[in-house]
A and B are shown apart, each in its own frame.
Chain A
Amino acid sequence: EPEVTQTPSHQVTQMGQEVILRCVPISNHLYFYWYRQILGQKVEFLVSFYNNEISEKSEIFDDQFSVERPDGSNFTLKIRSTKLEDSAMYFCAGQRVNYGYTFGSGTRLTVV
Protein backbone atom coordinates (compact mmCIF):
# COMPACT_ATOMS: atom_id res chain seq x y z
CA GLU A 1 0.00 0.00 0.00
CA PRO A 2 1.39 3.44 -0.91
CA GLU A 3 2.85 5.42 1.97
CA VAL A 4 3.75 8.96 2.84
CA THR A 5 7.48 8.90 3.56
CA GLN A 6 9.16 11.33 5.94
CA THR A 7 12.86 11.91 6.46
CA PRO A 8 14.73 12.04 8.71
CA SER A 9 12.92 10.03 11.37
CA HIS A 10 14.77 11.92 14.08
CA GLN A 11 16.62 15.24 13.89
CA VAL A 12 18.57 16.89 16.66
CA THR A 13 19.50 20.51 16.11
CA GLN A 14 20.99 23.40 18.01
CA MET A 15 18.72 26.28 18.95
CA GLY A 16 18.88 28.96 16.27
CA GLN A 17 19.77 26.57 13.47
CA GLU A 18 17.66 26.02 10.38
CA VAL A 19 16.08 22.63 9.77
CA ILE A 20 14.34 21.18 6.75
CA LEU A 21 11.92 18.31 7.21
CA ARG A 22 11.17 16.30 4.11
CA CYS A 23 8.13 14.41 2.96
CA VAL A 24 7.30 12.39 -0.13
CA PRO A 25 3.51 12.18 -0.48
CA ILE A 26 1.65 9.54 -2.44
CA SER A 27 1.70 10.40 -6.15
CA ASN A 28 -2.05 10.95 -6.62
CA HIS A 29 -2.46 13.21 -3.61
CA LEU A 30 -3.49 16.78 -4.33
CA TYR A 31 -3.63 18.33 -0.85
CA PHE A 32 -0.69 18.38 1.50
CA TYR A 33 -0.43 19.24 5.14
CA TRP A 34 2.00 19.61 8.01
CA TYR A 35 0.98 18.94 11.59
CA ARG A 36 2.95 18.82 14.79
CA GLN A 37 2.50 16.98 18.06
CA ILE A 38 4.31 18.10 21.17
CA LEU A 39 5.09 15.11 23.38
CA GLY A 40 1.98 13.90 25.19
CA GLN A 41 -0.30 16.43 23.52
CA LYS A 42 -2.76 16.43 20.67
CA VAL A 43 -1.93 16.78 17.01
CA GLU A 44 -2.04 20.42 15.84
CA PHE A 45 -2.51 21.80 12.34
CA LEU A 46 0.30 23.91 10.92
CA VAL A 47 -0.34 24.48 7.24
CA SER A 48 -2.16 23.18 4.18
CA PHE A 49 -0.84 23.37 0.63
CA TYR A 50 -2.72 23.00 -2.62
CA ASN A 51 -1.96 23.88 -6.20
CA ASN A 52 1.55 24.99 -5.26
CA GLU A 53 0.51 27.51 -2.68
CA ILE A 54 -0.47 27.73 0.97
CA SER A 55 -4.23 27.43 1.30
CA GLU A 56 -4.45 27.82 5.08
CA LYS A 57 -2.09 28.22 8.02
CA SER A 58 -2.45 28.28 11.78
CA GLU A 59 -1.20 30.79 14.33
CA ILE A 60 1.70 28.44 15.03
CA PHE A 61 2.92 28.80 11.44
CA ASP A 62 4.66 32.14 11.84
CA ASP A 63 7.42 33.76 9.78
CA GLN A 64 9.94 31.19 10.99
CA PHE A 65 8.13 28.49 9.03
CA SER A 66 7.90 27.94 5.28
CA VAL A 67 6.80 25.15 2.99
CA GLU A 68 7.80 24.19 -0.51
CA ARG A 69 7.06 21.58 -3.11
CA PRO A 70 10.07 22.28 -5.28
CA ASP A 71 10.03 19.38 -7.72
CA GLY A 72 6.45 18.11 -7.72
CA SER A 73 7.21 15.21 -5.43
CA ASN A 74 9.01 16.33 -2.28
CA PHE A 75 7.12 18.51 0.18
CA THR A 76 9.31 20.29 2.72
CA LEU A 77 8.84 22.20 5.94
CA LYS A 78 11.60 24.63 6.85
CA ILE A 79 12.07 26.17 10.26
CA ARG A 80 14.48 29.09 9.88
CA SER A 81 15.73 29.60 13.41
CA THR A 82 14.65 26.81 15.72
CA LYS A 83 13.56 27.43 19.29
CA LEU A 84 13.40 24.96 22.16
CA GLU A 85 9.60 24.96 21.95
CA ASP A 86 9.78 23.73 18.35
CA SER A 87 10.72 20.30 19.71
CA ALA A 88 7.90 17.99 18.62
CA MET A 89 6.88 15.26 16.21
CA TYR A 90 6.15 16.75 12.80
CA PHE A 91 3.75 14.85 10.59
CA CYS A 92 3.26 15.31 6.90
CA ALA A 93 -0.05 14.22 5.38
CA GLY A 94 -1.49 13.96 1.93
CA GLN A 95 -5.01 13.68 0.68
CA ARG A 96 -6.97 13.17 -2.47
CA VAL A 97 -10.55 14.41 -2.69
CA ASN A 98 -13.18 12.26 -0.98
CA TYR A 99 -10.60 10.25 0.95
CA GLY A 100 -9.23 10.68 4.41
CA TYR A 101 -5.70 11.80 5.04
CA THR A 102 -2.68 9.54 4.89
CA PHE A 103 -0.13 10.56 7.49
CA GLY A 104 3.57 9.85 7.41
CA SER A 105 5.24 8.26 10.41
CA GLY A 106 6.71 11.59 11.44
CA THR A 107 10.01 13.32 12.14
CA ARG A 108 10.95 13.76 15.76
CA LEU A 109 12.65 17.17 16.05
CA THR A 110 14.68 17.80 19.17
CA VAL A 111 16.05 21.31 19.65
CA VAL A 112 18.85 21.57 22.21
Chain B
Amino acid sequence: GQQLNQSPQSMFIQEGEDVSMNCTSSSIFNTWLWYKQDPGEGPVLLIALYKAGELTSNGRLTAQFGITRKDSFLNISASIPSDVGIYFCAGQTRSNTGKLIFGQGTTLQVKP
Protein backbone atom coordinates (compact mmCIF):
# COMPACT_ATOMS: atom_id res chain seq x y z
CA GLY B 1 0.00 0.00 0.00
CA GLN B 2 0.94 3.65 -0.11
CA GLN B 3 3.43 4.77 2.49
CA LEU B 4 4.97 8.03 3.54
CA ASN B 5 8.49 8.14 4.93
CA GLN B 6 8.89 11.01 7.34
CA SER B 7 12.19 12.19 8.75
CA PRO B 8 13.70 12.84 11.09
CA GLN B 9 11.95 10.66 13.63
CA SER B 10 12.79 13.08 16.44
CA MET B 11 14.55 16.37 17.00
CA PHE B 12 15.85 18.08 20.11
CA ILE B 13 16.70 21.70 19.47
CA GLN B 14 17.42 24.95 21.25
CA GLU B 15 14.77 27.65 21.41
CA GLY B 16 15.24 30.08 18.53
CA GLU B 17 16.64 27.52 16.11
CA ASP B 18 15.02 26.71 12.79
CA VAL B 19 13.64 23.23 12.16
CA SER B 20 13.10 21.28 8.97
CA MET B 21 11.32 17.98 8.43
CA ASN B 22 10.23 16.19 5.30
CA CYS B 23 8.16 13.42 3.84
CA THR B 24 8.74 11.33 0.77
CA SER B 25 6.68 8.77 -1.03
CA SER B 26 7.00 6.40 -3.96
CA SER B 27 3.43 7.36 -4.94
CA ILE B 28 2.00 10.62 -6.19
CA PHE B 29 -0.30 12.60 -3.92
CA ASN B 30 -2.60 15.41 -5.00
CA THR B 31 -2.76 17.04 -1.59
CA TRP B 32 -0.16 17.30 1.16
CA LEU B 33 -1.09 18.28 4.67
CA TRP B 34 0.93 18.96 7.79
CA TYR B 35 -0.55 18.36 11.23
CA LYS B 36 0.62 18.87 14.80
CA GLN B 37 -0.50 16.58 17.60
CA ASP B 38 -0.24 17.43 21.28
CA PRO B 39 -0.42 14.64 23.89
CA GLY B 40 -3.94 13.28 24.29
CA GLU B 41 -5.30 15.40 21.47
CA GLY B 42 -6.24 14.89 17.86
CA PRO B 43 -4.12 16.16 14.97
CA VAL B 44 -4.53 19.86 14.23
CA LEU B 45 -4.07 21.08 10.68
CA LEU B 46 -1.14 23.46 10.22
CA ILE B 47 -0.80 23.82 6.47
CA ALA B 48 -2.58 22.36 3.44
CA LEU B 49 -0.94 22.21 0.00
CA TYR B 50 -2.99 21.57 -3.11
CA LYS B 51 -0.67 22.26 -6.06
CA ALA B 52 2.69 20.84 -7.06
CA GLY B 53 5.40 23.40 -6.40
CA GLU B 54 3.18 25.37 -4.01
CA LEU B 55 4.97 27.12 -1.15
CA THR B 56 2.71 28.20 1.69
CA SER B 57 3.37 29.97 4.98
CA ASN B 58 1.42 30.11 8.20
CA GLY B 59 3.21 32.41 10.62
CA ARG B 60 6.59 30.86 11.40
CA LEU B 61 5.70 27.72 9.45
CA THR B 62 6.48 27.22 5.78
CA ALA B 63 5.66 24.13 3.76
CA GLN B 64 6.21 23.14 0.16
CA PHE B 65 4.51 20.64 -2.12
CA GLY B 66 7.26 18.99 -4.13
CA ILE B 67 7.21 19.43 -7.88
CA THR B 68 7.16 15.66 -8.43
CA ARG B 69 4.15 15.41 -6.05
CA LYS B 70 6.04 12.74 -4.13
CA ASP B 71 7.47 14.86 -1.35
CA SER B 72 6.88 17.79 0.97
CA PHE B 73 8.80 19.63 3.63
CA LEU B 74 7.85 21.71 6.65
CA ASN B 75 10.09 24.40 8.11
CA ILE B 76 9.60 26.07 11.47
CA SER B 77 11.58 29.23 12.00
CA ALA B 78 12.69 30.65 15.35
CA SER B 79 11.29 27.77 17.39
CA ILE B 80 9.62 28.43 20.74
CA PRO B 81 8.80 26.03 23.60
CA SER B 82 5.14 25.67 22.54
CA ASP B 83 6.29 24.17 19.22
CA VAL B 84 6.89 20.95 21.17
CA GLY B 85 4.77 18.09 19.89
CA ILE B 86 4.53 15.50 17.15
CA TYR B 87 4.35 16.70 13.56
CA PHE B 88 2.75 14.50 10.94
CA CYS B 89 2.71 14.82 7.21
CA ALA B 90 -0.27 13.35 5.40
CA GLY B 91 -0.98 12.75 1.76
CA GLN B 92 -4.27 12.52 -0.03
CA THR B 93 -4.57 10.94 -3.44
CA ARG B 94 -7.72 12.78 -4.38
CA SER B 95 -7.59 16.54 -4.69
CA ASN B 96 -9.69 17.53 -1.75
CA THR B 97 -11.41 14.57 -0.14
CA GLY B 98 -10.71 10.98 0.70
CA LYS B 99 -8.48 9.11 3.08
CA LEU B 100 -5.23 10.48 4.40
CA ILE B 101 -2.04 8.47 4.49
CA PHE B 102 0.04 9.63 7.46
CA GLY B 103 3.77 9.65 7.95
CA GLN B 104 5.29 8.17 11.07
CA GLY B 105 5.66 11.56 12.74
CA THR B 106 8.52 13.79 13.89
CA THR B 107 8.73 14.39 17.63
CA LEU B 108 10.03 17.87 18.32
CA GLN B 109 11.45 18.93 21.66
CA VAL B 110 12.56 22.51 22.25
CA LYS B 111 14.96 23.43 25.02
CA PRO B 112 14.32 26.90 26.45
Contacts and interface: CB of A to CB of B under 8 A. Distances in A.
B84 interface: no
B41 A101 contact: no
Q: How large is the interface on A (under 10, 10 to 19, 20 to 34, 35 or more residues)?
A: 20 to 34
Nearest to A95: B97
Nearest to A55: B98
Interface residues of B, number: 21
Contacts of A100: 33, 45, 48
A102 B103 contact: no
Given A91-B43, A100-B33, A101-B45, A42 B103 contact: yes
A97 B102 contact: no
A33 B42 contact: no
Interface in B75-99: 88, 90, 96-99
B88 A42 contact: yes
Contact of B98 (A48, A102, A103, A106): A48
B88 A43 contact: yes
A90 to B, nearest CB: 10
Interface of B: 33, 35, 40-45, 48, 88, 90, 96-105
28 contacts: A4-B42, A31-B97, A33-B99, A35-B100, A42-B88, A42-B102, A42-B104, A43-B88, A43-B100, A45-B99, A45-B100, A45-B101, A50-B97, A55-B98, A56-B98, A97-B97, A99-B48, A99-B96, A100-B45, A101-B33, A101-B45, A101-B100, A103-B43, A104-B42, A105-B40, A106-B41, A106-B42, A108-B40
